[in-house]
Chains A and B, each alone.
Chain A
């Protein structure tokens, strides 16, 4: 009150109400109050740097001469930056097995992600907004599928793939990822779509929209934040997966993770292949993450109703 009212100069100045409260606060709450400031920021930056250290080491290692690597630690090169070389990457790009593995990863990851988004969002729209008998039971079953671990399915799917000739193909790996990505996709998107105001869909219906128009013109654009997060999750899972690829892909269709794993040896790793390969494998998801980040906008729904 005293802060908003015009100051009365005839009376001695009272401390504003907020300050008075601050004096009475305990030690703990003062510490909590401080953490918003510079101290916490510095601590966070230090932790982040510490966390990035191995990745940085990987990057530096990938730029060193293989002979040097076995002799000294990667940090030694920081004193002599002129020793850094791209020769490892050159060799990697000439390595047919590695480039094929890299493209296999893309051929596996991109369809797995796009299919999950497409099928998942269509199913989510149906579960959220279409009326059909047994809808909610069916949705419960889909959510229930979330608890099925991948490992349980390995043998039955192997048999199935063996019978259908999908074993050792990229398509087989993609289908497996799509199947196991869908329950989560449907669950996440259905709940997001259900939060879109009903009136918006009814308005679109009044404007002459069919279910398909409503889905593509209203639901998809408004669902972008959820779809983007789903896209990132699914992309990362598939990109970083080794278990599924190790089982269902053959050498021709193996992705980068499997190819890199096959390069590691029990004695003396061939770090000149592993370091640049691993770095290549991790930089792509980072790029994907940052390019999808712009869809995480607050308040997409602002101005829709009321």
Chain B
């Protein structure tokens, strides 16, 4: 059990112009499940490998509990890692794979066997203990990789996209299992993924990285409700949040021919910046189709021409395009599954009041919350 803290941790690869991880400040509480998420090349795996001791920390420091581990060997850090491709020892049986770390540590054979069997029971691997990895399915190999980490009873679990090699159905199933297992064991866990759904569903908190810079750390709920900047807004949520540039109006923002009221503080912040335009973020489910007797009688909102309709059963997503200042932009609207508009038709939409996000067009930062 331990906390993990990155203090201005930086990693610059030899010959690289800019750091892969740039002055990362991150505090992870004891027993917390923290998910590092971001697009490929954002530095999330590097951050994890710095904590593992597989990547050199070129600036700042990393602490596990009260101990600084910045320059310690991986073996002296008391951490276990699950690799993306599992990295099982092909010449050892499942039991030997899981007990390898304990064997190196010189622990008594009987004790190793007991621990391995206990972990195997948790992971439903008991009948495969004497098999070699090549005789296992992908899901079973993944569980062996998990087992190898569990048997260690380390202070911190590190997981590097452990689900990305599983098929879609198994991935969803295993996702829940891993999250449940982590809660049960209560071991601090850092989990890397590029899949924002995994991040949102598994993490106690989520940290979004981009270009080696930490964008926001928060609970999934807050991340969804109050993204700190345009990047996080567009990254978290599926389908992504609609981000469009709109004009500021007297008491709100201009949305098509309608004026949508926004919080006074946000508007003031935009005005203080001297901006005439702001970036409006609105999630697909917060766009309402404006029928004849819509929100405002004299204005219809923004016209959307429907390009594609994705029906998911419970609801449907309308992928359309809108024209703002002569530019055509894509827009996604969620509609109830039973009232699906025709392809090629035109809808008028307005955002739900209070569910809009305003970002500075200049800096991309959120304007007030």
Q: Interface code A242-253, partner B: CB below 8 Å = 1, 0 otherwise?
A: 000000000000
B173 to chain A, nearest CB (A): 19
- Structural contact, A222 and B79, CB atoms closer than 8 A: no
Distance of A67 from chain B, by nearest CB (Å): 57
Find out whether the CB atom of A205 lies under 8 angstroms from the CB atom of B91.
no
Contact A303 B87 (CB under 8 A): no
B63-95 interface mask toward A, CB cutoff 8 Å, 1 = contact, 0 = none? Answer: 000000000011100011101111111110000
Q: Is B168 an interface residue (CB 8 A)?
A: no
> Which residues from chain A contact B79 at a C-beta distance below 8 Å?
206
Given the complex, which residues of B lie within 8 Å of A206, measured CB to CB?
52, 54, 74-75, 79-81, 101
B100 at the interface (CB under 8 A from A): yes
A303: chain B residues within 8 A (beta carbon) = 88, 90, 132-136, 141
Chain A neighbourhood of B135, CB < 8 A: 303
In the assembled complex, how far is the CB of residue B133 from the closest CB belonging to chain A, in whole angstroms? Answer: 3
- Size of the B side of the interface (Cβ < 8 Å), in residues, is 32
Given contacts A208-B101, A209-B104, contact A305 B75 (CB under 8 A): no
| Contact present for A305 and B148 (CB under 8 Å) | no
Q: Does A29 belong to the interface (CB within 8 Å)?
A: no
On whether the beta carbons of B75 and A210 are closer than 8 Å, the reply is: yes
Please determine whether B90 and A301 come into contact, CB atoms closer than 8 angstroms. Answer: yes
Residues of chain B within 8 A (CB-CB) of A218 are 89
Asked whether A40 is an interface residue with its Cβ less than 8 Å from the other chain, the reply is no
Name B91's contact: one of A197, A199, A300, A305 (CB within 8 Å): A300
Chain A, interface size category, equals: 20 to 34
Shortest distance between the CB of B241 and any CB in chain A (Å) = 34
A199–B85 touching, CB < 8 Å: yes
A196: nearest chain-B partner, CB-CB: B90
A-B contact pairs, 25 of them (CB 8 A): A197-B85, A199-B83, A199-B85, A202-B52, A202-B54, A202-B74, A202-B81, A203-B87, A205-B75, A206-B74, A206-B80, A207-B152, A209-B75, A217-B104, A221-B91, A222-B91, A301-B90, A302-B134, A303-B90, A304-B86, A304-B88, A304-B89, A305-B83, A305-B86, A306-B86
Sorted nearest first, the 7 A-B pairs with minimum C-beta distance are A303-B134, A303-B133, A305-B85, A199-B87, A207-B101, A302-B134, A203-B87
